[in-house]
């Protein structure tokens, strides 16, 4: 059975973090928006995996979404977004990720808006997986 309560704890945080990222875009904190988009996607995927009774570890969206794939789920529509969002985990925050300057100098509105779209896509994907899982659980109960 899918652990809906645990899933919802993680996805609630994912949604809140994504809203915070949108606020950062509006306020021109583009690097922080990008980092928060990575975090939102991480929380979304981890929520689904915890819901399935797994114990995800780490912060790489690419690795986490592969755990979803290992459940027999097609991730082809989302894996590219995960790979792009992975690039925001460290460089968006640490000056030594770049040869000079501060991280915020390497981000702009276009990059941040795309990050929001990627994170929203990951969240939508995970929500659809949850809905499929709940339907499957309900069918099994009815049998």
d(Cα 127, Cα 14) in Å, to the nearest integer? 11
Q: Quote the tokens at residue 11.
A: 């996805």
pLDDT in tens, 43-60: 999 999 999 999 999 999
Q: Which of 21, 6, 25, 45 is nearest to 124 (CA)?
A: 45
Q: Where residue 141 falls among pLDDT bands split at 50, 70, 90?
A: confident
* H helix or E strand, kind and range, residue 134: helix 109-142
> How far is it, in rounded angstroms, from Cα 90 to Cα 38?
10
CA 77, CA 101: separation in Å to the nearest integer? Answer: 35
- Using CA atoms, how far apart are residues 62 and 74, in angstroms rounded to an integer? 14
Checking if the pLDDT of 131 tops 90, the result is yes
The residue whose two tokens read 């990059």 is 111
Give the mean pLDDT of 134-138.
89
Cβ-contact 89, 45 below 8 angstroms: no
Task: Decide if 121 contacts 78 (C-beta within 8 A).
Answer: yes
12-36 confidence digits (pLDDT tens): 999 999 999 999 999 999 999 999 9
pTM: 0.96
């Amino acid at each position: 059975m899918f652990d809906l309560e645990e899933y919802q704890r993680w996805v609630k945080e994912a949604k809140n973090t994504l809203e915070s990222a949108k606020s950062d875009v509006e306020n021109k904190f583009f690097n922080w928006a990008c980092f928060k988009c990575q975090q939102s996607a991480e929380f979304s995927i981890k929520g689904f995996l915890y819901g399935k009774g797994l114990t995800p570890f780490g912060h790489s969206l690419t690795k986490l979404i592969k755990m979803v794939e290992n459940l027999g789920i097609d991730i082809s529509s989302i894996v590219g977004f995960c790979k792009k969002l992975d690039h925001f985990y460290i460089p968006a925050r640490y000056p030594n990720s770049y040869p000079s300057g501060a991280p915020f100098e390497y981000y702009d509105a276009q990059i941040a808006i795309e990050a929001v779209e990627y994170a929203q896509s990951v969240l939508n994907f995970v929500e659809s997986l949850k809905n499929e899982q709940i339907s499957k659980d309900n069918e099994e109960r009815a049998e």
